[in-house]
A and B are shown apart, each in its own frame.
Chain A
Amino acid sequence: MTALPRLTHLDRLEAESLYILREVVAACANPVLLYSIGKDSSVLLHLAIKAFYPARPPLPLLHIDTTWKFREMIAFRDATARRLGFELLVHTNEAGLRQGIDPFVHGAGVYTDVMKTQALRQALDAHGFDAAIGGARRDEEKSRAKERIFSLRSAQHHWDPKHQRPELWNLYNTQLGRGESLRVFPLSNWTELDVWQYVERERIEVVPLYFAAERPVVERGGQLIMVDDERLPLAPGERPRLRRVRFRTLGCYPLTAAMESTAGSVADVVREMRTARFSERQGRLIDHDGAASMERKKREGYF
């Protein structure tokens, strides 16, 4: 008799995620995969392909385009969807665009609400999706640590942290009332390090912005902001300087700070993470606008 294989922690995390993805497709009428282009999204796509193999993943991708993403992200998005054969839906809040909502003029709070949260709600409503899969992890942030894997949203897309359904074993409750929907998080139990180790093991492609390169940045309030296009207003005398930086998390370029780094490969990134352990969302400027801000945004329908 052959020796039985031993499952590593990545094998177990992968199997749990495949189960969750299959559960969504088996139990929900009209699911969608929220694609944010970051490393977690890349892992999600990879898992979706595994979960439904040899069939193609029977659900489309949805990207909420704020029009302020890094240009490299948009190029990567289109190439990836094409390469993997996913249907890609892109939604922008046109009303917000017409109003000229801008992170510099209106502030991160208003901008995030209009261009991300409201945009997401519009897209989910327009397509009538009853389940939206996202790449959020519980180790990212305090309010996420308590969210269910299958997380219920009201008809208004609101999350009620005090009335969450108990979630036992792997017996997920996918039943919905009229207008209600689910947000589903297959990577709930992954940590940032798990994600990178898996990217390394499975040779998953990620946006090159995660790796160190010379990039034009300005320094504001101790944060390095990359000058990705001409819309970034420069103060008098402020001049972008080339520095060797990379990003730990990717979002809208004006709200995402870079870090100085020499990590040029996945293996370098894994090594760097073991020595300097800054929390990942530190580079996310929108998370710092007021106490418990993530929880508030989530209640309103943010992912």
Chain B
Amino acid sequence: MDAASSDLLRFITCGSVDDGKSTLIGRLLYETKSLPVDQLASFEADSKRRSTQAGALDFALLLDGLAAEREQAITIDVAYRYFATPRRKFIVADTPGHEQYTRNMVTGASTAEAAVLLIDAQLGLLTQTQRHSCLMSMLGIRRVVIAVNKMDCVAWSREVFETIAAQYRAFARPLGFTALACVPLSALHGDNVAARSAAAGWYEGPTLLEWLEAIDIDTDRTARPFRMPVQWVNRPDSSFRGFAGTIASGVVRRGDTVLSLPSGAESRVARIVTQDGDLDLAIAGQAVTLTLASAIDVSRGDLLAHSVERPVVADQVEATIVWMHEAPMLPGRAYAVRIGTRTVTGTISDLKCRIDVATFGQLAARTLELNDIGICTLSFDQPVAFDPYADNRDTGGMVLIDRLTHETAGAGTLRFALRRSQNLHWHFLDVDKRQRAAQKAQQPRVLWFTGLSGAGKSTIANLVERKLHALGRHTYLLDGDNVRHGLNRDLGFRDADRVENIRRVAEVARLMTDAGLIVLVSFISPFRSERRMARELFPAGEFVEVFVDTALQEAERRDPKGLYAKARRGELRNFTGIDSPYEAPEHPELHIDTATLAAEDAAELIVGYLAGMREVP
């Protein structure tokens, strides 16, 4: 391989387990002499001993390490393999084929510029073929080669090959592939992989390797509008302020006018700095540092673009989401969302449907489980600059991160900004929260009572409200049961409903504090995430979490509404503490242990705590 002229192609291989994917990858590594000789020697010995193919090299054995690990469930994972020809270096994302591994295929496809999709000539198009094709299309892969494998098993029949090719082309028409080739081959014998097949004289197209070597890599990336997510601000001293990042698309030249988004501030590119010397222009894929002619506010997370062909800026979007976590996606729950180099808080406001990945049909759904794909609307806590994924893969993807466990929970492709996000503006009102509160001579607060059913939340909250009322305070008590009779009448007790229940109540409480009230919220509110979401709606200090701590045994003994008994008899599903979890607060402002503190004393303690609190600035 000539280091000065060869380039790099990342591709993904897919196909069902028996289509011969391992054999094909093994064959590619072998033919391009990418295998170390010591490995090769042991493979050849292995092959002679174990091969099911008399005399032939069994390339599937090369990836045997993988197969053994598969039993231990490690290889439900992407493995990356490397080979090179004189023209190109290749990185192959080798992903397992089964449906339960959708997330791994999506991971591998996210960085791939092309795909090799295997079809067994004896079997033709399968559901699996369709599923993989839909996922490839969704992830923006536009260059696809169909490897019609095991042609030796159908006697190199031109008719079989052409039927499969025609069927696939018809199926793939709506999927937006710009380069699509079909190659008849035998991975086992090596025909049409690297070397032309003598058996298929009728085939005049390229071999698989020729196709992989020839496809155009990223002229389209360079042809798209200029985008550079700012990764890091470089400030070695007061004389230099540069914005480091990798150009996601397009070309930037010295002297170009650029915008920083979402702010919209404008400046000119003064220098394109690299350690190898300044550049006159830089193209997609290069990691550079830009300095600007004027001092505008730019930081990590901002997106630089030209002033024409701007990216979208919005705080409400529609996106396709692939769920990657064992815990299901819950609409209403807040996640950390990473788009480009920016991380914001985002909430799934609405799950529109789940996608059937074999047909791309839309199914009704309330949550997304592991490996499900759905179309959702999301709202962010601040505006974000992005491009629709179909226009730009590097500025249109996002990952969702669980805010408590920090695990990567899902990934998505942004579709478009919601119209309401762009056209809905805040009305600035003349009378504000401060004035409303001042009129009542009080500080607005939220007292958020959480605890098991029967813990004594409502009893204590009721006593607190009486005391505050007697002190001349303006209060309102939102009680779980009462709100479920009205505002939240449509919600049940499944996890997704519980999340929405809390979201609505938190929003109502926020409106009430805006009106200047002291709001008491008495809700089981079993999940930490939603209590945190509620807390974050309020200014620091305004939200007071009161954990009414009663042991499950004791709450069950009291059972004031007879609900525990029902739940134990199986007449009531998803009951907190029985078959639905309660996540106790880790750092509540007040921790009321009802075993040692009577309700009256607890109420007194809470009122005292409120009186002693500092004013919210």
User: Whole-angstrom distance between the alpha carbons of A127 and B340 in the complex?
Assistant: 31
User: Whole-angstrom distance between the alpha carbons of A175 and B287 in the complex?
Assistant: 23
Q: Which of A20-28, A31-39, A235-243 lies on the face that meets chain B? A: A20-28
- Residue in A2, A188, A200, A278 whose CB lies within 8 Å of B37: A278
User: Whole-angstrom distance between the alpha carbons of A142 and B70 in the complex?
Assistant: 13
Question: In chain A, residues 164-197, which have Cβ atoms closer than 8 Å to a Cβ of chain B?
Answer: 164-171, 173, 175-177, 180, 188-189, 191, 193-194, 197
Which residues of B lie under 8 Å from residue A19 when comparing CB positions? 231, 246, 287
User: Whole-angstrom distance between the alpha carbons of A259 and B231 in the complex?
Assistant: 43
A50 part of interface (Cβ distance < 8 Å): yes
User: Whole-angstrom distance between the alpha carbons of A198 and B1 in the complex?
Assistant: 13
Contacts A54-B273, A173-B408, A277-B36: A193 and B324 contacting too (C-beta < 8 A)?
no
A57 CB → nearest B CB, Å: 11
Q: C-beta contact mask, B74-94 vs A, less than 8 Å → 1, else 0?
A: 110111111010001101000
Q: Which of A3-11, A112-120, A205-213 lies on the face that meets chain B? A: A3-11
Residues A54 and B406 in contact, CB atoms below 8 Å apart = no
A98 part of interface (Cβ distance < 8 Å): no
Residues B74 and A9 in contact, CB atoms below 8 Å apart = no
Contacts A8-B4, A53-B274: A173 and B401 contacting too (C-beta < 8 A)?
yes
User: Whole-angstrom distance between the alpha carbons of A8 and B218 in the complex?
Assistant: 12
Residues B84 and A193 in contact, CB atoms below 8 Å apart = yes
A146 part of interface (Cβ distance < 8 Å): yes
B243 CB → nearest A CB, Å: 11
Residues A164 and B236 in contact, CB atoms below 8 Å apart = no
B208 CB → nearest A CB, Å: 20
B32 CB → nearest A CB, Å: 11
Residues A10 and B3 in contact, CB atoms below 8 Å apart = yes
B297 part of interface (Cβ distance < 8 Å): no
Residues A26 and B231 in contact, CB atoms below 8 Å apart = yes
B234 CB → nearest A CB, Å: 5
B260 CB → nearest A CB, Å: 16
A90 part of interface (Cβ distance < 8 Å): no
B551 part of interface (Cβ distance < 8 Å): no
Interface residues on B, range: 35 or more
Residues A173 and B406 in contact, CB atoms below 8 Å apart = yes
Tell me the nearest residue of chain B to A10, going by C-beta.
B3
Which residues of B lie under 8 Å from residue A287 when comparing CB positions? none
Contacts A15-B246, A26-B231: A282 and B38 contacting too (C-beta < 8 A)?
yes
Q: Which of B278-286, B374-382, B595-603 lies on the face that meets chain A? A: B278-286
User: Whole-angstrom distance between the alpha carbons of A247 and B107 in the complex?
Assistant: 37
A29 part of interface (Cβ distance < 8 Å): no
- Residue in B73, B107, B110, B300 whose CB lies within 8 Å of A162: B73
A44 CB → nearest B CB, Å: 15
B338 part of interface (Cβ distance < 8 Å): yes
A279 part of interface (Cβ distance < 8 Å): yes
User: Whole-angstrom distance between the alpha carbons of A279 and B286 in the complex?
Assistant: 31
A145 part of interface (Cβ distance < 8 Å): yes
Which residues of A lie under 8 Å from residue B554 when comparing CB positions? none
A276 part of interface (Cβ distance < 8 Å): yes
B326 CB → nearest A CB, Å: 10
Residues A277 and B81 in contact, CB atoms below 8 Å apart = no
A145 CB → nearest B CB, Å: 5
B182 part of interface (Cβ distance < 8 Å): no
Which residues of B lie under 8 Å from residue A15 when comparing CB positions? 246, 285-287
Question: In chain B, residues 375-419, which have Cβ atoms closer than 8 Å to a Cβ of chain A?
Answer: 393-394, 397-399, 401, 405-408, 411
User: Whole-angstrom distance between the alpha carbons of A264 and B80 in the complex?
Assistant: 32
Question: In chain B, residues 253-289, which have Cβ atoms closer than 8 Å to a Cβ of chain A?
Answer: 273-276, 280-281, 283, 285-287, 289
Q: C-beta contact mask, B44-70 vs A, less than 8 Å → 1, else 0?
A: 000000000000000000000110000
Residues B91 and A166 in contact, CB atoms below 8 Å apart = no
Residues A145 and B80 in contact, CB atoms below 8 Å apart = yes
B251 part of interface (Cβ distance < 8 Å): yes
Residues B234 and A54 in contact, CB atoms below 8 Å apart = yes
A81 part of interface (Cβ distance < 8 Å): no
User: Whole-angstrom distance between the alpha carbons of A18 and B232 in the complex?
Assistant: 11
User: Whole-angstrom distance between the alpha carbons of A282 and B7 in the complex?
Assistant: 29
A12 part of interface (Cβ distance < 8 Å): yes
Residues A193 and B405 in contact, CB atoms below 8 Å apart = no
Instruction: Count residues of chain A with CB under 8 A from any CB of chain B.
Output: 62
Q: C-beta contact mask, B213-253 vs A, less than 8 Å → 1, else 0?
A: 00000000010000000011011100010101110000100
- Residue in A14, A54, A279 whose CB lies within 8 Å of B240: A54
- Residue in A5, A53, A55, A173 whose CB lies within 8 Å of B399: A173
Contacts A53-B289, A168-B399: A8 and B91 contacting too (C-beta < 8 A)?
no
B439 part of interface (Cβ distance < 8 Å): no
Which residues of A lie under 8 Å from residue B232 when comparing CB positions? 22, 25-26
User: Whole-angstrom distance between the alpha carbons of A52 and B274 in the complex?
Assistant: 9
Residues A22 and B399 in contact, CB atoms below 8 Å apart = no
Residues B283 and A189 in contact, CB atoms below 8 Å apart = no
A166 CB → nearest B CB, Å: 5
B5 part of interface (Cβ distance < 8 Å): yes
- Residue in A7, A10, A177, A282 whose CB lies within 8 Å of B406: A177
Question: In chain B, residues 273-325, which have Cβ atoms closer than 8 Å to a Cβ of chain A?
Answer: 273-276, 280-281, 283, 285-287, 289, 300, 324
B335 CB → nearest A CB, Å: 11
A245 CB → nearest B CB, Å: 18
User: Whole-angstrom distance between the alpha carbons of A161 and B82 in the complex?
Assistant: 21
B6 part of interface (Cβ distance < 8 Å): yes
A82 part of interface (Cβ distance < 8 Å): no
User: Whole-angstrom distance between the alpha carbons of A14 and B285 in the complex?
Assistant: 10
Contacts A162-B74, A165-B407: A2 and B281 contacting too (C-beta < 8 A)?
yes
Tell me the nearest residue of chain A to B242, going by C-beta.
A54
- Residue in A168, A191, A282 whose CB lies within 8 Å of B107: A168
Residues A169 and B397 in contact, CB atoms below 8 Å apart = yes
User: Whole-angstrom distance between the alpha carbons of A26 and B302 in the complex?
Assistant: 13
User: Whole-angstrom distance between the alpha carbons of A217 and B448 in the complex?
Assistant: 74
A139 part of interface (Cβ distance < 8 Å): yes
Residues B1 and A193 in contact, CB atoms below 8 Å apart = yes
Question: In chain B, residues 453-483, which have Cβ atoms closer than 8 Å to a Cβ of chain A?
Answer: none
Contacts A2-B280, A173-B338: A12 and B287 contacting too (C-beta < 8 A)?
no
A106 part of interface (Cβ distance < 8 Å): no
User: Whole-angstrom distance between the alpha carbons of A22 and B233 in the complex?
Assistant: 10
Additional pairs, 18, CB under 8 Å, beyond known A51-B287, A54-B236, A171-B399: A2-B281, A4-B222, A7-B8, A9-B84, A14-B287, A26-B231, A50-B275, A53-B273, A53-B275, A55-B234, A55-B235, A146-B74, A146-B77, A161-B74, A168-B399, A170-B111, A197-B3, A279-B39
- Of all A-B residue pairs in the complex, the 6 with the closest CB atoms, nearest first, are A279-B36, A55-B236, A18-B287, A53-B275, A9-B8, A175-B406
Q: Identify 24 residue pairs between A and B in the complex whose beta-carbon atoms are under 8 Å apart, listed by A's number.
A: A5-B283, A6-B7, A7-B283, A7-B286, A8-B8, A9-B6, A9-B8, A9-B89, A11-B286, A14-B287, A18-B246, A52-B234, A53-B289, A54-B275, A138-B82, A162-B74, A167-B408, A168-B408, A173-B406, A191-B82, A191-B89, A193-B1, A201-B3, A282-B36
A-side residues, CB < 8 A to B, are 2, 4-15, 18-19, 22-23, 25-26, 49-56, 138-139, 142, 145-146, 161-162, 164-171, 173, 175-177, 180, 188-189, 191, 193-194, 197-198, 200-201, 276-280, 282
